[in-house]
């Protein structure tokens, strides 16, 4: 791969020669564009990027990036990315996955990546359906939704990716919708600079098999009444007229009206993305339409020790006590067996 001066990199330098093959109008195009706009701004050599994906529509993305990468096996992208980051800590490693890939067959890998805090970026494109295999219900499909594998409506409670990640102590978690391009670009840049696991859940419309599933928060005519934008240190206010807010009533969040003399901004919950505890962020992650506005933005962004640093510290201790490892001694040591 040719090397470029860092200041000369542009979006075009990250566009591969492969034809982009998603359905016309797919939200994946927006995600690809914003990634290619963000990477030149990071001050990282192009040869130090790696994109790892699993299986699914979103997992085609590494083909379209002029970087190193791998289209791996179903659900195992986080495991492969972990191994790559441990062996090559200087790399900027990105996982591209979908709701089925990450949360069904890959669910176990997903939760252990969150708890380990390995320094990788995970972009989870959530369209609440299996798109590549033509419309089966996924782990995030809404209750009652009719699909090819739930012809009378899904009876499975959907997985909430942000809530699941927060329960594992994820150090950076954010949510954005594919059509909100400026916000998507800003959050991708923040995720890239975060040291530790960064999870960005991207609401992505599949207009072929699950069209309009996120219309409440993507349609400009109604989104202001159906979403609350998270800003660190600011009260949770929403609505076209900025006349509604979220307060805590004991341990229950509730929607209140502002300006009627009963509640003011001082009564509202103030967002704290840097809290050591995940409790308030978890409350937010469980808010859904129509009872609540959907939170969008950064839920949590804290700094904790990374998995790679801990592994290398442990290696240094062992090397200090025993010296560097010897592969021949290991395979010929006492803990071996002869199978006849």
For 69-102, the pLDDT digits (tens) are 999 999 999 999 999 999 999 999 999 999 999 9
Mean pLDDT of 133-147: 95
- Tell me the Cα Rg of the chain: 22
- CATH code of 6-213, in short, is 3.40.50.970
Q: What residues have CB less than 8 Å from 30, skipping those under 6 apart?
A: 178, 179, 181, 184
Quote the pLDDT of residue 94: 98
Instruction: Say if residue 128's pLDDT is above 60.
Output: yes
Q: Could you tell me where the DSSP H helices lie in the chain?
A: 28-38, 77-87, 99-100, 107-116, 161-167, 181-193, 215-218, 223-226, 279-285, 307-322, 327-331
pLDDT at position 6 is 65
**Inter-residue contact 81 to 120 (CB < 8 Å):** yes
Look at residue 320 and tell me whether its pLDDT is greater than 60: yes
Is the pLDDT reported for residue 306 higher than 80?
A: yes
* pLDDT greater than 60 at residue 4: no
What's the whole-number mean pLDDT along residues 39-46? 96
How much is the mean pLDDT over the chain? 94
Q: Is 1 helix (H, G, I), strand (E, B) or coil?
A: coil
Edge-first strand order for the sheet with 121-126 is: 68-71, 49-53, 92-98, 121-126, 198-203, 172-177, 294-301, 227-230
pLDDT of residue 1: 60
Looking at the predicted structure, is the pLDDT value of residue 233 above 80? Answer: yes
Q: For the packed helices 307-322 and 77-87, what is the interaxial angle rounded to 10 degrees?
A: 50
Q: Do 188 and 49 contact (CB within 8 A), yes or no? A: no
pLDDT band at 2 (very low <50, low <70, confident <90, very high): low
Q: Say what the pTM is.
A: 0.93
| φ/ψ (deg, to 5) at 195 | -95, 105
Reported as a single tens digit per residue, the pLDDT across 248-283 is 999 899 999 998 889 999 999 999 999 999 999 999
Residue pointed to by tokens 């991207």: 202
In angstroms, how far is CA 308 from the centroid of its own chain? 20
Inter-helix orientation angle 77-87/107-116, to 10°: 30
């Amino acid at each position: 791969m040719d090397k470029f001066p860092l200041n000369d990199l542009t979006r075009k330098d990250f566009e591969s020669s492969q034809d982009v093959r998603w359905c016309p109008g797919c939200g994946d195009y927006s995600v690809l564009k914003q990634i290619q706009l963000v990477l030149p701004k990071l001050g990282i050599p192009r040869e130090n990027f790696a994109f790892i994906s699993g299986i699914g529509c979103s997992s085609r993305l590494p083909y379209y990036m002029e970087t190193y990468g791998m289209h791996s096996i179903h659900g195992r992208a986080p495991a492969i990315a972990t191994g790559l980051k441990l062996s090559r800590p200087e790399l900027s490693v990105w996982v591209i996955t979908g709701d089925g890939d990450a949360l069904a067959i890959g669910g176990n890998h997903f939760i252990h990546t969150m708890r380990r805090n390995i320094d990788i970026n995970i972009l989870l494109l959530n369209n609440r359906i299996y798109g590549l295999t033509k419309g089966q219900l996924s782990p995030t499909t809404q209750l009652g939704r009719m699909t090819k594998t739930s012809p009378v409506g899904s009876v499975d409670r959907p997985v909430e990716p942000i809530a699941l990640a927060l329960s594992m102590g994820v150090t950076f978690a954010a949510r954005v919708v594919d059509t909100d391009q400026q916000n998507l670009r800003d959050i991708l840049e923040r995720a890239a600079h975060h040291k530790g696991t960064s999870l960005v859940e991207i609401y992505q419309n599949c207009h072929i098999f699950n069209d309009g599933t996120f219309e409440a928060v993507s349609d400009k005519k109604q989104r202001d009444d159906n979403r609350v934008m998270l800003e660190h240190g600011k009260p949770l206010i929403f609505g076209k007229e900025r006349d509604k807010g979220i307060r805590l009533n004991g341990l229950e969040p509730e929607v209140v009206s502002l300006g009627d003399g009963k509640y003011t901004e001082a009564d509202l919950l103030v967002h704290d993305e840097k809290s050591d505890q995940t409790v308030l962020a978890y409350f937010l992650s469980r808010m859904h339409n129509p009872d609540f506005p959907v939170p969008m933005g950064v839920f949590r962004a804290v700094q904790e020790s990374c998995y790679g640093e801990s592994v290398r510290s442990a290696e240094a201790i062992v090397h200090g006590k025993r010296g560097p490892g010897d592969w021949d001694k290991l395979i010929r040591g006492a803990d071996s067996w002869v199978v006849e």
